[in-house]
Amino acid sequence: MITDAQLAQYEEQGAVTIDSPFTTEQLDRAEAAWDRLRDNGGAPYEDPDYIEVIQHPYFEEVAKKLLRADAVHLWWGLAPHERAPASAPYDDPREQWARGCHVDIQATLEDFEATPRRMRAELWFWLNDVPAHRGAMRILPGSHRSIMAHWSRVLRPEHKAELPRVHGLRPAPVPATAAAFPEYIPDLGERPYLECEPVPAVARRGQILVLCSAGLHSAWQNEDIVPRKAMGTSWIAAGVSGGLPKNQRDALMDFFPRLRRQLRPDRAHIVPDHFDWLFESDYDPRWPETFPPSHP
């Protein structure tokens, strides 16, 4: 289970890697399911070995502790995720960070510090080792707090009421073609975010990266010859509402009932049978308080 020291690291740095109770045999089955799904492009929710992973009680227990909640449920399913080997020459690390760093969740510090926490708990379950050179995700520790404090300062009360939400944003320069444009994350520390040095979220097979993606992080080129294999799952406290863009909300409302039917009766509660907690939240209508000053 996640320790108090690990919880403190999650709160202060926005990311922590923890052990899981999965045995080598269970990991072998999960990795074989991941390989099958990648090779056949099959529906994950029809693979019994995949269902065994998603309904394992450990993820739910970690999410409860993390979200300080008596009850939690999935906010998204269990997405098989591949970071395939890139081909050389590899991009300069500073360039990769400057191009890729972003946040996925928008929430205020009050949301994060509430009980239950109004945040998406993101758990990345690693099915093979993640050394730094195998495309380990890069994370800027502590940036979740400064950025959420910024949203606490600038957002209007009626917008704070529509958080937390999935809302991808990045530091300037935001390309005018980006969906988020002209919204951006201003520099809030002593150094510009794009010049900061992120840390690789390295892990051993079977460990779980517990991530708060309200902070800056980035995908990274895999310089190894094997893919990085993950299953990503995310959770929300029961009774807390969260927002998704229309396409993601539509997808969730389509697959949640199908996933729920595959679960053992004693595990079905991890997928809610209603969507009262899930509101639609898109880039439009715009929230002007997140525009740069040059866009009044």
Which spans of this chain sit near Fe ion (rule: CB under 5 A)? Answer: 104
Query: Which one, 56 or 102, has the nearer CB to Fe ion?
Result: 102
Which residue do the tokens 């502590």 mark?
Answer: 142
Which residue do the tokens 């195998």 mark?
Answer: 134
Cα 25 to chain centroid, rounded: 27
For the CB of residue 73, give the shortest distance to Fe ion in the complex, in Å: 21
For 195, the enclosing helix (H) or strand (E) is none
Q: Across the chain, where does the E strand assignment appear? A: 15-18, 72-83, 103-106, 121-126, 138-139, 165-169, 199-200, 208-211, 217-218, 228-237, 242-244, 278-280
For the CB of residue 120, give the shortest distance to Fe ion in the complex, in Å: 11
What is the distance between the alpha carbons of residues 263 and 73, in angstroms, rounded to a whole number? 13
Query: Which one, 69 or 78, has the nearer CB to Fe ion?
Result: 78
Query: Which one, 37 or 212, has the nearer CB to Fe ion?
Result: 212
Query: Which one, 251 or 268, has the nearer CB to Fe ion?
Result: 251
For the CB of residue 283, give the shortest distance to Fe ion in the complex, in Å: 16
Query: Which one, 45 or 124, has the nearer CB to Fe ion?
Result: 124
Residue closest to 125 by CA, chosen among 220, 215, 214, 29: 29
Residue with the closest Cβ to Fe ion? 104
For the CB of residue 217, give the shortest distance to Fe ion in the complex, in Å: 6
For the CB of residue 116, give the shortest distance to Fe ion in the complex, in Å: 23
